[in-house]
Amino acid sequence: MSTTKTATCMLCEAVCGLELKVDGDRLLRVVGDARDPFSRGHICPKAAAIDDVRIDPDRVTYPMRRTRGGGFSRVSWRDALGEATDRLSKIREAHGRHAIATYVGNPLAHSYGALLGSITLRQALGTRNNFSATSADQLPHMLASLEVLGHQLLLPVPDIDRTQFMLIVGANPVVSNGSIMTAPGVKKRLEAVRARGGKVIVIDPRRTETAAIADEHHFIQPGTDALFLLAVLYTIFAEGLARPGRLAPLVDGLGALEAAAADFSPESVAPVTGIAADVTRRLARELAAAGGAACYSRMGACTQEFGGLTAWLTLAIDVVTGNLDRAGGNMFPTPAADLIGLASALGRRGSFARYRSRVRGLPEFGGELPVAALAEEIEAPGDGQIRALITMAGNPALSSPNGPAVERALASLEFMVSVDVYINETTRHANLILPPSFGLERDHYDLVFYALSVRNAARYAPAIFAKRGEARDDFDIATELAARLASRAARGLRGWATFASVRAVQALGARRMLDGLLRAGPHKLSLAKLRASPHGEDLGPLEPRLPKLLGADRRIQIAPRLFLGDLPRLKQRLLAPPLAPGALVLIGRRHLRSNNSWLHNSARLVKGRAACVLLMHPEDARARGIASGGAVNVRSRTGVVTVVAEVSDEMGRGVVSLPHGWGHHRQGAQQSVASSRAGVSVNDLTDEQFIDALTGNAGFSGVTVEVAPAPAP
């Protein structure tokens, strides 16, 4: 007999409430939960496929060991954990703790148990060679928050439900459902801005799905967002529009920021950005005059050669116009489980450049090195060379710049263990694959995304189905491996203290840790209270929270030396020569039915029209003799791919676009649906040398490429 249950979608940042019809081990129907006060019944196509990974016949549900022939065979948990502990311990004993590296991927943020477990594992390892998707994504935003506000997790989000003017730079929230802005039903929320008389402006090299519903869209040349934002600041200062409002007494460096912006008039940057000076001036005036305005930049603005400056300037505009921590501007949620407060209490507000990578000297951030350095840190011999790797929910072979170089490096490791549900492009190189539970097999609470929510809310969802095969919760896998490794290294007071700490975390368990965070949080909730509210709790609109949340000095450093020191590099962009004849620049894009590389084995999400095509402006295509549907070769410094072209005026001149997350043709990967719709990997073209020199973040947007018709087969 079927029953109705509630759940939270864990496939993107929107945390939509779901209502499920369940019969035994089968999910019969998925609809949006109309009684969820936050998502209000909204779902996207991914939610309809929420159970596809759990029941996928290609999913790994038993521990697997790679055979000499390159395949995988089933092994017991006892043997798998024993082998992992033994091999990793021997490598550490022979080469030191930094010889072991970790990599965690995007799905980790969608599991509170995985998040807590991975922190414990990294602490037990004590390695400085930690990597994650952070440095291929939002690191610039976090660095800006650290430098300006004193905490790397203090990320303001648009108060979209009350804003009167939203400037969106290099972001496509209609497709991403937010991204550092947890906003279920974001399309309706943006349409509501316009309905109440506000404006939505999109600055992007492509006329995106978000641009299609905006008041205005302006094409911009990739990598020049910082120049545009400086021209906005120039106008605000030059026309006397700077009004920090109630935060003015807290702001240091306003004069230095004004002096820095004085070198970037709208007229001087227009030939490079492609946005006319009069448009920039008008937008600056409208933003400054709006009764609550939010400047919002994301992936396209972060993952480029000036990502750090762009993220800083986005935040600076909010401060200068009085829109930071103001209703309708960019504000700070008050999450029920307060990770920022916990980190602050422990004295962990963040770090930058405490140490650097061996080969290129790229800076550490928050205890991690940039993923652009991963391959070279594996391959370059010497003290500190990475010889073993632990991955959790990550696929750097497809998600990191110069994927082929990453794949070669992975193949050269002495040992690799992956906590993952698939044998994919990365885990095919692992010696051991340890299978975690997934989706509706585990309870769910969004530790990360309620801290980025456009309205304060909380919802806890118990597990609905039993775990498949011998899958274990990722918290249990990570902490058990941490305990075994800590036990083997327990020498001296520090070693035994680490072992005792890991065992204490294990004994407490993920669920009790979550309950403790809720009880200690500002809303004094608990798991019991949330269980009694299966549709979730509405905790109210965002409220002003500064200066309480600021760093120890309770000041806003609007002009940090770190960013001012990078402006001469940006000035050179004004003098940069035009592209060589025949060259274009490449950007990525997202699709609503996709989430990076990890949902392409769902037949219902990849069916229909091919998603992995190269978008190209009609005039660029005509000049090269390219027509829609024709195969083209796309070539960069690092490689070449052959893909179908789609001619579209949604692209700006001189810019082409490939979606990320594809390229499922690698031999040894075992995802039958994905391999049948393989596509090509945009990261076969991106360049690990093309990064934001300030932050080390990957530069996916703005890579120089050449495009030509592919020879007939």
The pTM for the full model equals 0.97
82 vs 86: CA distance, rounded Å: 6
Residue 683 binned pLDDT confidence (cut-offs 50, 70, 90): very high
Amino acid 178: pLDDT: 85
The stretches of 561-637 forming alpha helices (DSSP H) are: 561-564, 567-574, 603-606, 618-623
The Cα–Cα gap between 135 and 55 comes to: 32
Q: How confident is the model at residue 416 (pLDDT cuts 50, 70, 90)?
A: very high
Could you report the per-residue pLDDT of 228-261, keeping only the tens digit for each? 999 999 999 999 999 999 999 999 999 999 999 9
CA distances from 578 to 1, 265, 320, 582, 657 (A): 67, 21, 33, 11, 19
Residue 350, pLDDT > 80, answer yes
Rounded mean pLDDT of 112-131? 96
Give the integer Cα–Cα distance in Å for 56 and 435.
13
In whole angstroms, what is the distance from residue 107 CA to residue 201 CA? 30
pLDDT digits (tens, 9 = 90+) for 458-480: 999 999 999 999 999 999 999 99
> Residue 580 — pLDDT band, cuts 50, 70, 90?
confident
Taking residues 674-698, what's their average pLDDT?
97
- Give 576's pLDDT tier (boundaries 50, 70, 90): confident
| Region 616-640 average pLDDT | 97
pLDDT in tens, 203-237: 999 999 999 999 999 999 999 999 999 999 999 99
Task: Tell me if 417 sits within 8 A of 84, measured CB to CB.
Answer: yes
Q: Positive or negative, the Cα torsion across 538, 544, 550, 552? A: negative
Confidence of residue 593 (pLDDT cuts 50, 70, 90): confident
**How is residue 650 written in tokens?**
């949604």
**How does residue 493 score in pLDDT terms, banded at 50, 70 and 90?**
low
Q: What is the phi/psi pair of residue 680, to 5°?
A: -125, 155
Encode pLDDT of 146-168 as tens digits.
999 999 999 999 999 999 999 99
Per-residue pLDDT, 489: 84
Tens of pLDDT, residue by residue over 446-461, are: 999 999 999 999 999 9
Q: Which residues contact 568 (CB under 8 A, 6 or more apart)?
A: none
Checking phi first, is residue 103 left (phi over 0); if not, alpha (psi -120 to 50) or beta?
Answer: beta
pLDDT, position 713: 67
Domains annotated on the chain, with CATH: 64-137+337-445+467-530 (3.40.50.740), 155-331 (3.40.228.10), 577-709 (2.40.40.20)
520 phi and psi angles, rounded to 5 deg: -85, -10
**Other beta carbons within 10 Å of 26:** 11
Residues 484-490 have a mean pLDDT of 89
Note whether 370 and 362 are within 8 A (CB): yes
Q: Tens of pLDDT along 174-212?
A: 999 889 999 999 999 999 999 999 999 999 999 999 999
Pairing type for strands 293-297 and 388-392 reads unpaired
> Of all residues in the chain, what percent carry a pLDDT higher than 70?
100
